[in-house]
Amino acid sequence: MENRIFQNYILGNWSNGDGVETNLYHAINGSFIGTASSAGIPFKDVLEYARKNGPTLRKMTFQERGRMLKALALYLMERKEKYYTVSAWTGATRIDSWIDIEGGIGNLFANASLRKQFPDLPYYVDGVAAPLSKNGTFIGHHIMVPKEGVVVHINAFNFPIWGMLEKIAVNLMAGVPAVVKPSEYTCYLTEVMVRDIIESKILPEGALQLICGLGRGILDSLDSRDTVTFTGSAITGKKLKSLPHIAQESVSFNLEADSLNATVLGPSAHPGTQEFDLFIKETVKEITIKAGQKCTAVRRILVPENLLEEVQKALSAKLAATKIGDPSVEGVRMGALATRLQVDRVRESVQKLALSQEIAFGSIDTVDVIGADKEIGAFFSPILFVNDDPFKKIDVHEIEAFGPVSTLMPYKTLDDAIELAKMGKGSLVSSIVTPNDTEALDYVVGAANMHGRILVLNAACAKESTGHGSPMPLLTHGGPGRAGGGEEMGGKRGVLHYLQRTAIQGHPTTITHITKQFQVGAEMPEASPHVFRKHFEELVVGETVFTHKHTVTDADIVNFANVSGDNFYAHMDATSLEGTIFEKRVAHGYFILSKAAGLFVDPKKGPVLLNYGIDEARFTKPVYPGATIGVRFTVKEKIDQEKRSDDDISKGIVKFLVDVYDETGETVALATILTMVKKLKE
């Protein structure tokens, strides 16, 4: 173990702050680790440095940013054991550290995969075009461009790695640089990883800066281009969010606060069911994982009143069997709190809660530990309270002990359970464990307005469920009310938080040029040669193949029915059409698309490797025998694709608009086909 100064990475260099702001100690054995300070740092310059270097990120396409995140994730995964070693200093078990380290790196992988949902552009094209004129020469659309500021991430002590990576994965994918300010108490783990990130040179310079000290003054120079994300206590978060400077400058502020999350044992999950056993197992896990130091931890346990005593006995027995101490000792399942200061804070909250409810398990003042000294390490006993009248004894809905502390309480009906869950005044997550899907439906719909996420757990999903306390990168993480009203992660939704949505208006040809997506009504220059004879780089959005035409016959309909087996009455029985929308037997929609392919395909071997899908297929007008159809086949959008290996074919994805029209010029069918097209350059 080292006794050293944990540095800040700012302005392209590693730097000490002035003096000592925080002394850092090992959570298990109390030994001195080192110091951290951000005093004297010119925060205005730090923010401006990020803004100045922002164009490098903004000019990258979503595909390039996604590949950058993937490369970083692979790089960090190769070095993960280093982080496990340092994570143990925080009091974490191997499982605790796995959530923080590999869960955090998993966020990079997940956000990297989002590139498939974005265009091959530095900006995002949002939604579909809006017609704004009678003749179609004036339309509207929306684009979303990266904000030209910097995001300041203020993170909590409990997840020094996950807290950083789950946030920067999103802003980097959006093309916005970040300054990360972890908790000073566990910043040493964040600093170890950031050193590797900087050394990798995978991120552009200025994309990531680190503040290891208190960070006092870091918000003073923010302006309307910037964003703040805060994870921590609701009191501190609201205080920062309400700073006059933040309001005056209209600084975007995302608050994700600790909350009084509830888990519910459904009425049908009685003893003897798999769900009852799952409930006990998952609840104990939520109390003891990370020693209860999770913003998503279960603080309130709601059970049918007739099962209160039985659940209390089962939870107490499992908690009593949980070995606490040095995680390096075999059999230890719960480590220490992060600091002795945190022990004092948890004890103070427990004492307040004890004024209105009874302790059923655990002790405020003592705890048995293995392989460590409880007087030196930051250990605290799991505490299980019982509240026999939760509608009247309401401290449990107001006070959070941010440690291994939870309260068991009864409910009479599921409606009562819903009301109790909502008495937390806004939570990040709730869960219900039940084999009854009707109970699940009633709880989810009733409780959703005060929760950011709800887990429905039963035996069918238990094996693969990630649990009550695990927010997932492709789903939103946040919640209303006390939980802060913010959203983190959320897949594409999270990335869009860092983009500015702007409405654009103009001629379809102009909007096509801006969006790089073909807009109906835009110019359609005829392709020469045929688009199937062109490589990926040679194709231009908007260029079109105007095909030969085909007159549909009764024989076409009969033959297609024979081949496909589709003998739906509207195609095959003209005597059954009374009361329908059809005037006579109608051609199959899929015949129209199949015939369209026969018209637009150039059959010779060329750059087109394959057609792998159809999107947005619509049949807009019946086609009867005697109608003559043709196709306008237009390059709609191009998306670059990276090579998966050295021997992979260099290619890109091209979307083509298939517009099938009849002799009147009206569209009868529309579809988008997806093709892989070879590149000129390997």
- Give 642's pLDDT tier (boundaries 50, 70, 90): confident
**pLDDT(14) > 90:** yes
Tens digits of residue pLDDT in 529-581: 999 999 999 999 999 999 999 999 999 999 999 999 999 999 998 889 888 99
Mean pLDDT of the chain: 93
What span, in angstroms and rounded, lies between the C-alpha atoms of 9 and 338? 24
Residues 421 and 565 both lie in one domain: no
pLDDT at 628: 97
Residue 668 located in a structural domain: yes
Once rounded to an integer, what is the mean pLDDT over residues 287-298? 92
Tell me which long-range contacts 474-477 makes (C-beta under 8 A, separation of at least 24): 474/110, 476/452, 477/166, 477/256, 477/428, 477/452, 477/453
What span, in angstroms and rounded, lies between the C-alpha atoms of 450 and 260? 11
Give the C-alpha distances (Å, rounded to integers) separating 658 from 124, 286, 540, 614, 678.
23, 53, 16, 10, 21
Contact assessment for residue 364 and residue 378, using Cβ atoms and an 8 Å cutoff? no
In terms of pLDDT, which residue wins out, 682 or 344?
344
Which DSSP letter does residue 515 get?
H
Q: What does the radius of gyration of the chain's CA atoms come to, in whole angstroms?
A: 30
Once rounded to an integer, what is the mean pLDDT over residues 400-424? 96
Once rounded to an integer, what is the mean pLDDT over residues 630-646? 90
Residues 532 and 645 both lie in one domain: yes
Residues 550 and 583 both lie in one domain: yes
What span, in angstroms and rounded, lies between the C-alpha atoms of 589 and 568? 12
Q: How many CB atoms lie within 10 A of CB 475?
A: 14
CA atoms within 13 A on the CB side of 453: 28
CA atoms within 13 A on the CB side of 269: 31
What span, in angstroms and rounded, lies between the C-alpha atoms of 410 and 265? 10
What span, in angstroms and rounded, lies between the C-alpha atoms of 229 and 162? 14
Residues 187 and 306 both lie in one domain: no
What span, in angstroms and rounded, lies between the C-alpha atoms of 254 and 488? 8
Give the H/E segment covering residue 361.
strand 358-361
Residues 266 and 227 both lie in one domain: no
Question: Quick one: tokens of 482?
Answer: 């006390």
Once rounded to an integer, what is the mean pLDDT over residues 233-258? 88
Domain range for residue 92? Answer: 4-12+42-123+146-258
Residues 329 and 375 both lie in one domain: yes
What span, in angstroms and rounded, lies between the C-alpha atoms of 241 and 247? 8
**pLDDT(223) > 70:** yes
CA atoms within 13 A on the CB side of 673: 22
Question: Quick one: tokens of 629?
Answer: 């159809």
Contact assessment for residue 635 and residue 588, using Cβ atoms and an 8 Å cutoff? no
Once rounded to an integer, what is the mean pLDDT over residues 62-79? 96
Residue 517 located in a structural domain: no
Final residue before a domain boundary, out of 424, 455, 470: 470
What span, in angstroms and rounded, lies between the C-alpha atoms of 611 and 108? 30
**CATH number of the domain that 425 lies in?**
3.40.309.10
In terms of pLDDT, which residue wins out, 315 or 157?
315
Question: Among candidates 223, 213, 220, which has minimal Cα distance to 243?
Answer: 220
Q: Is the pTM of this model over 0.95?
A: no
Would you please indicate which residues are annotated as catalytic (active-site) residues? Answer: 256, 295
Q: How many CB atoms lie within 10 A of CB 19?
A: 10
Percent of the chain at pLDDT above 70? Answer: 99
pLDDT at 507: 97
Give residues with Cβ within 8 angstroms of 555, minimum separation 6: none
Once rounded to an integer, what is the mean pLDDT over residues 135-164? 94
What span, in angstroms and rounded, lies between the C-alpha atoms of 472 and 486? 15
What span, in angstroms and rounded, lies between the C-alpha atoms of 381 and 321? 12
What span, in angstroms and rounded, lies between the C-alpha atoms of 401 and 431? 19
Starting at the earlier edge strand, list the strands of the sheet with 151-154.
13-15, 8-10, 208-210, 178-181, 151-154, 227-232, 252-257
Question: Quick one: tokens of 616?
Answer: 């947005």
Strands 4-6 and 32-36: parallel
Q: Is the dihedral of CA 486, 489, 490, 492 positive or negative?
A: positive
Q: How many CB atoms lie within 10 A of CB 442?
A: 18
**CATH number of the domain that 63 lies in?**
3.40.605.10
Once rounded to an integer, what is the mean pLDDT over residues 496-522? 95
Once rounded to an integer, what is the mean pLDDT over residues 206-217? 94
Residue 639 located in a structural domain: yes
Once rounded to an integer, what is the mean pLDDT over residues 603-624? 92
**pLDDT(1) > 50:** no
**pLDDT(2) > 60:** no
Residues 291 and 151 both lie in one domain: no
Question: Quick one: tokens of 132?
Answer: 């704004």
Residue 301 located in a structural domain: yes
Residues 341 and 429 both lie in one domain: yes
Residues 623 and 598 both lie in one domain: yes
- Give 149's pLDDT tier (boundaries 50, 70, 90): very high
Final residue before a domain boundary, out of 225, 258, 291: 258
- Give 232's pLDDT tier (boundaries 50, 70, 90): confident
Percent of the chain at pLDDT above 90? Answer: 85
Residue 32 located in a structural domain: no
Once rounded to an integer, what is the mean pLDDT over residues 489-508? 93
What span, in angstroms and rounded, lies between the C-alpha atoms of 165 and 163? 6
What is 574-603 written as a DSSP string?
GGG-TTSS-SS----HHHHHHHHHHHH---
Question: Quick one: tokens of 200?
Answer: 């990798």
**pLDDT(138) > 80:** yes
Tens digits of residue pLDDT in 444-473: 999 999 999 999 999 999 998 988 888 888
Residue 184 located in a structural domain: yes
CA atoms within 13 A on the CB side of 107: 31
Question: Quick one: tokens of 218?
Answer: 């870091």
Tens digits of residue pLDDT in 86-127: 999 999 999 999 999 999 999 999 999 999 899 889 999 999
**CATH number of the domain that 585 lies in?**
3.10.129.10
Widest Cα–Cα separation across the chain = 93
What is 402-439 written as a DSSP string?
SSSEEEEEEESSHHHHHHHHHTTSSEEEEEEE-S-HHH
pLDDT at 490: 84
Q: Could you give the 3-state DSSP secondary structure of residue 312? A: helix
Residues 435 and 447 both lie in one domain: yes
**pLDDT(3) > 70:** no
Question: Quick one: tokens of 571?
Answer: 């195609």
Final residue before a domain boundary, out of 209, 242, 258: 258
Contact assessment for residue 6 and residue 212, using Cβ atoms and an 8 Å cutoff? yes
pLDDT at 327: 92
**pLDDT(196) > 80:** yes
Residues 216 and 282 both lie in one domain: no
Question: Quick one: tokens of 216?
Answer: 């006092």
Residues 367 and 293 both lie in one domain: yes
Residue 588 located in a structural domain: yes
Domain count, the chain: 3
Question: Among candidates 433, 158, 187, which has minimal Cα distance to 297?
Answer: 158
Residue 512 located in a structural domain: no
Residue whose structure tokens are 């991120």: 203
